[in-house]
A = this chain, B = another copy of it.
Amino acid sequence: MTQSHEEGGRQEGSQPSLPLRAQEVARWDRVHDVVIVGHGAAGGAAAIEAARAGADTLVIERMSRGGGAAALSTGLVYFGGGTAIQKACGFEDSVEDMKAFVEMAAGRGADPERIRLYCENSVEHFEWLRALGIEYRESYYAKKSTHPLTDDCLMYTGNEQTWTFAQRARPVPRGHKPAREGEAGGYLMEMILQATAEAGAYALNDCRVRCLVQNDEGRIVGIKALLEGKEIFVQARRGVLLAAGGFIANKDMLARHAPDLLNCNHDVGTIGDDGRGIRMGMGAGAEAINMSEGLILSAYYPPEDHLFGIFVDAHGQRFINEDAYIGRGGDAMIKKADGIAYLIVDDSIYDRSQSIFKLAAVEESFEALERALQMPEGALVHTLEAYNGFAERGEDPTFRKQAKWLRALDSPPYAALDCRVGHSVFAGLTLGGLSALATGEALSSDGTIVPGLYVAGRNAAGLCREGRTYASGLSIGDATYFGRLAGRAMAAADALR
């Protein structure tokens, strides 16, 4: 097993990246109170809070400009408990209702303290983001979508209305999208970057952090980075925050930790999401946990008409309620259907201009479709006939799809949209990361704090721990909210003497 402080730029590998010993640093090129690695949603929020609290704050970004994965997103953030927008749109929400849902959405292994803090402070966090100048319309977007093209704000973004979530928590829409048409993540991050500057944090772009620097007491006291081809050493008097994104772009790390995510052919993130932050933290003794979990998305809606269709596996059997959030459906396609799934639609549903899937088969009858898909004789025919029979009665006793999406598939031709791995897009986001307190303080495998080291965003094992229960907006919500806590904690930390 070989180790190096600096791995080559081409091959990132899956190994931890060891810290440099402080005594090997000849001189510090810069000294700051707080050094933040990564200027995405978590790093930006942390920088704003640290700088506002009076800390001399540096935020380092490897790209030419900050933004990270959040800038490529829809910009949805999961807020609730009675935000101004929820109220204006006539939705009643409470901290308790939000907690009941977020506990399910966060999944097994979640940290109750993070859930509590996130839900209790959600209204405050929404107002904090709004006070950065981010605009939100007082409007509700009623369609089932993950990428609304309008500038509407409030929408359902997870499994709130679907079985069995709806039976266990009162459904309320909590996804809040900034008032920009189409994908608003770029706008959201522009506003956060602007606020970082206004707060007085110094942003250094095109600068790649290579390793942490650790002193003899085990405290993280700075970083080594590459800037314009030269090594620079930056001392962090109060703390270093790793907020450099997940590891969806690092296939070695996926193979080692999250092999299910190797089924994904689209990264929810940037090329910077190579897990370097996590590996630097591991090298400094922080524990990486929940590493096998992630989000597997198959974008089967919009168009919402697809929800009138049914998913079947290689055996011609259904395996999920089709109105489930795309992360829950995507997870089931991989884990329940073993990567072989088709969305069966009829002519009344299918709109070629709207669908992102290729056609696996188009036939005039169920029998012909079954043959074309090489399914066991009678299997798909039975599934479709049974489904149609139930749909005509407005019920789905098998998978409990909501009645509004039940309609017999009886307008030939019938098509099988090809949702198989290798034939369609699966988008992935990692949910494993460094173990940390809600304040961002990194924890080692012996359960003690790694002094001077903080983590947030997808460098941390955060609010959400399971892909199959996730709802859109929870990752940016987690990154910005716990980024803020980390920024405040670092600003208040004892300075190096």
Contact = CB atoms under 8 A, between A and B. Distances in A.
Contact of A446 (B16, B292, B443, B447): B16
A182 interface: no
Contacts of A15: 447
A286 interface: yes
Nearest to A16: B446
A150 interface: no
Contacts of A335: 335-336
Interface string A368-411: 00000000111100100010011000000111000000000000
A21 interface: no
A215 interface: no
Contacts of A287: 282, 287, 445
Contacts of A259: 108-109
Contacts of A397: 376-377
A154 B255 CA distance: 35
Contacts of A18: 446-448
Nearest to A397: B376
A52 interface: no
Nearest to A335: B335
Interface string A439-471: 000011111100000000000000000000000
B399 A443 contact: no
B315 A446 contact: no
A437 interface: yes
A389 B443 CA distance: 58
A445 B315 contact: no
Interface residues of A, number: 42
A466 to B, nearest CB: 9
A344 to B, nearest CB: 16
A445 B286 contact: yes
Interface in A287-339: 287-288, 292, 315, 317-318, 335-336
Contact of A256 (B109, B257, B315, B318): B109
A242 to B, nearest CB: 14
A3 B385 CA distance: 60
Contacts of A256: 109
Interface in A401-442: 437
A285 interface: yes
A26 interface: no
Interface in A1-27: 1, 3, 15-16, 18
A282 B257 CA distance: 18
A283 B443 CA distance: 12
A386 B390 contact: no
Contact of A445 (B285, B376, B386): B285
Interface in A65-119: 108-109
Residue among A18, A376, A445 with most chain B CB within 10 A: A445
A442 to B, nearest CB: 11
Contact of A16 (B1, B288, B445): B445
A292 B397 CA distance: 32
Contact of A317 (B286, B317, B445): B317
Residue among A18, A287, A443, A447 with most chain B CB within 10 A: A447
A398 B16 contact: no
Contacts of A315: 317-318, 398-399
Interface string A214-241: 0000000000000000000000000000
Nearest to A293: B292
Nearest to A382: B382
Residue among A15, A382, A390 with most chain B CB within 10 A: A382
Residue among A1, A109, A376, A446 with most chain B CB within 10 A: A446
A437 B1 contact: yes
Contacts of A292: 292
Contacts of A284: 446
A290 to B, nearest CB: 8
Contacts of A447: 1, 3, 15-16, 18, 283
A3 B446 contact: yes
Given A285-B285, A382-B386, 19 more contacts: A1-B443, A1-B448, A3-B448, A16-B445, A18-B446, A18-B447, A108-B255, A109-B256, A282-B446, A283-B445, A283-B446, A284-B446, A285-B445, A287-B287, A335-B336, A336-B336, A376-B386, A379-B386, A379-B398
14 contacts: A1-B447, A16-B447, A18-B446, A18-B448, A282-B287, A282-B446, A284-B446, A286-B445, A315-B317, A317-B317, A376-B386, A378-B386, A378-B389, A379-B398
The 3 closest A-B pairs by CB, nearest first: A376-B397, A108-B259, A282-B445
